[in-house]
Structure 1
Amino acid sequence: MPDYGLVSIIMPTWGCAAYIAESIASVQAQSYPNWELLIQDDCSTDDTPEVVRPYMEKDPRIKYACNTQNSGAAITRNNALRRAQGRWIAFLDSDDLWLPQKLEHQLRFMTENEYAFSYTAYEEMNDEANPMGVRVSGPAHVTRFGMYSFCWPGCLTVMYNVSVVGLLQIADIRKNNDYAMWLKVIQKADCHLLPEVQARYRRGRVGSVSTHGYATMIGWHYRLWYKAMGLNAIASIFWTGMNLICGVYKKLRYVEHCAITLTINSSGGGKITPSASI
């Protein structure tokens, strides 16, 4: 297997002691070995540090740090990004999972095609890590206009090339901070889909975004454009509206309801046919 360079995996965490061991194990199971896992704790009040410690003691690639005070996901990701030493940046939240060949396949896809920014398809699982029979994909090629229209990539699937994007730091917003990152990355490079299921997203955990109503999420989208992106009120309302319209389109076009069991082919991914550019 070629050595594509070091991958820095950004894993913010807060109160995920019940899930983080499984997330760490999914990283350790990667067929591509040249990675560092940067766990950034936002002052968890549960047993997260105790759960992480034995993994860190046995595997020097796993590196834990804790914020000086509870700061939210945006600042937590910023802190982890400043610690990163890799050529590539990837993201995995502390309750989500990767399939074993996620890094290998995505690195090959990006290197062979000279892409600096990519994402993959993923499947949803419930709070107990059981498949929900839902697979989520997206456009094969996302331009700047396309990314402004909607947050197509799932955070747990994104990877970008640091030499093209540089050090990424985002505004301190409590929600939609992953979208704020992609809006910055898209200024430097278009985003491309690897049409394989290579990750599993945990839906329905108490306190997660997927448990909130539409009115709340609309407010978060407006604050993203107005506060994080610095747009005026009219532009913020316009892009919030575009996000809502494209959100409906995504559900109709890119969310596939299928059998509960996920079939993994011999190359390590469930194949999904990519779509046209946006």
Structure 2
Amino acid sequence: MSNDLVSIIMPSYNCGRFVEETIRSVQAQTYQNWEIIFMDDCSKDDTIHKVSAMRDKDKRIHLYQNISNLGAAVSRNNALREARGRWIAFLDSDDLWEPEKLEHQIRFMEENGYSFSCTERDQINEESHPLNIYETGPDHIDKNGMFQYCWVGCLTVMYDANVVGLIQVADLKKNNDYAMWLKVIKKTDCHLLRECLAHYRVRKGSISHDSIYKLIKSHYDLFRIGERMNVLQSLFYTCQNLIFGMKKKLCYVKKNYIHE
């Protein structure tokens, strides 16, 4: 394991339209000691062709493919087993980073002795234009806080693998990134870097229209299957998530936000 290397976990499925821009946002980083662990989940578009062309020009990009369509949870698990870096970061293949993301986040963690951190983020549309929606969160999240709600965005997270070790999660179709943070938080608290360094892309059809039943079930499965809790514990934490989800919308999501 390299103590300076950042391993960027990048699962993908049918992101050919966006993946080049996403990878370029990594190549533009002011911190250049990184590797991309690109795990394709049997895309049916031109994702593989585009990533292969970029890999041929940049050997820091490592391209892997699942043997069949296995979902995001298994894709991240597989990618994490290939990671060689001390620092583990996550970026879905349609999202973007600011150029200083890695540099600022590593400095924040090293200067404060943190092993798990996240940053603020905003939202962009399919054309990479801002939607003027800004997401922040609590400065410090301990185990109790993380079980209350998933305060962090996947594309903003970084942790120290020397402290956390290898993380593998249950094969959940939803909330699989949250399942990962529940594993990490048992090893170390999470701290927020108050800078907007990541851009979450909202794609057409990506906003969930699930019924309240499906929403509740996905949270219940997270705790019942992912955390192997009993029925009462799973119901308790599911209710907590619904309550604190409303708190996030009220306290930590700013709409009509204009960057200065």
Shorter chain as denominator, the TM-score bin is over 0.9
In 2, Cα distance between the equivalents of 1:42 and 1:67?
Answer: 5
Q: Is residue 205–residue 211 contact of structure 1 (8 Å, CA) maintained in 2?
A: no
CA distance 1:211–1:127, change in 2 (3 Å): farther
Q: Counterpart of 1:201?
A: 200
- After superposition, the CA RMSD in angstroms is 1.3
Q: Is residue 73–residue 171 contact of structure 2 (8 Å, CA) maintained in 1?
A: yes
Equivalent of residue 211 in structure 1, options 208, 212, 227: 208
Structure 1 residues 115-130: aligned runs within 5 Å: 115-130=114-129
Q: Is residue 56–residue 62 contact of structure 1 (8 Å, CA) maintained in 2?
A: yes
Equivalent of residue 222 in structure 1, options 199, 220, 223: 220
Residue deviations 1:199-222 (CA, integer Å, cap 9, x gap): 00012443x3x3333522222111
Q: Counterpart of 2:130?
A: 131
Q: Is residue 135–residue 256 contact of structure 1 (8 Å, CA) maintained in 2?
A: yes
The alignment status of 1:231 with 2:223, answered yes or no, reads no
What amino acid does structure 2 have at the position aligned with 1:255?
A: V
Give TM-score scaled by structure 2 length.
0.96
Q: Counterpart of 2:65?
A: 66
Q: Counterpart of 2:30?
A: 31
In 2, Cα distance between the equivalents of 1:108 and 1:197?
Answer: 15
Structure 1 residues 19-58: aligned runs within 5 Å: 19-58=18-57
What amino acid does structure 2 have at the position aligned with 1:56?
A: R
Q: Counterpart of 1:272?
A: none
In 1, Cα distance between the equivalents of 2:3 and 2:153?
Answer: 23
Equivalent of residue 254 in structure 1, options 246, 252, 255: 252
| Structure 1 residue 62, shift from structure 2 partner | 0.7
Q: Is residue 204–residue 211 contact of structure 1 (8 Å, CA) maintained in 2?
A: no
Structure 1 residues 95-134: aligned runs within 5 Å: 95-134=94-133
What amino acid does structure 2 have at the position aligned with 1:230?
A: R
Q: Is residue 110–residue 116 contact of structure 1 (8 Å, CA) maintained in 2?
A: yes
Structure 1 residues 125-164: aligned runs within 5 Å: 125-164=124-163
Give TM-score scaled by structure 1 length.
0.90
In 2, Cα distance between the equivalents of 1:37 and 1:239?
Answer: 34
| Structure 1 residue 117, shift from structure 2 partner | 0.2
Residue deviations 1:172-230 (CA, integer Å, cap 9, x gap): 11110000000000000000000000000012443x3x333352222211111111110
- Structure 2 residues without counterparts, runs of 5 or longer: none
SS in 1 for 2:145: helix
What amino acid does structure 2 have at the position aligned with 1:168?
A: I
Q: Is residue 9–residue 91 contact of structure 1 (8 Å, CA) maintained in 2?
A: yes
SS in 1 for 2:53: helix
SS in 2 for 1:5: strand
SS in 2 for 1:236: helix
| Structure 1 residue 129, shift from structure 2 partner | 1.7
Q: Is residue 3–residue 85 contact of structure 2 (8 Å, CA) maintained in 1?
A: no
What amino acid does structure 2 have at the position aligned with 1:211?
A: S
What amino acid does structure 2 have at the position aligned with 1:222?
A: Y
What is the aligned residue count? 258
- Structure 1 residues without counterparts, runs of 5 or longer: 264-278
Residue deviations 1:3-30 (CA, integer Å, cap 9, x gap): 9700000000001111111110110110
Structure 1 residues 178-189: aligned runs within 5 Å: 178-189=177-188
In 2, Cα distance between the equivalents of 1:80 and 1:212?
Answer: 29
Q: Counterpart of 2:239?
A: 241
What amino acid does structure 1 have at the position aligned with 2:235?
A: I
Identity of aligned residues (%): 53
In 2, Cα distance between the equivalents of 1:80 and 1:66?
Answer: 10
Residue deviations 1:90-131 (CA, integer Å, cap 9, x gap): 000011100000000000000000000000000011222211
| Structure 1 residue 63, shift from structure 2 partner | 0.8
In 2, Cα distance between the equivalents of 1:4 and 1:133?
Answer: 37
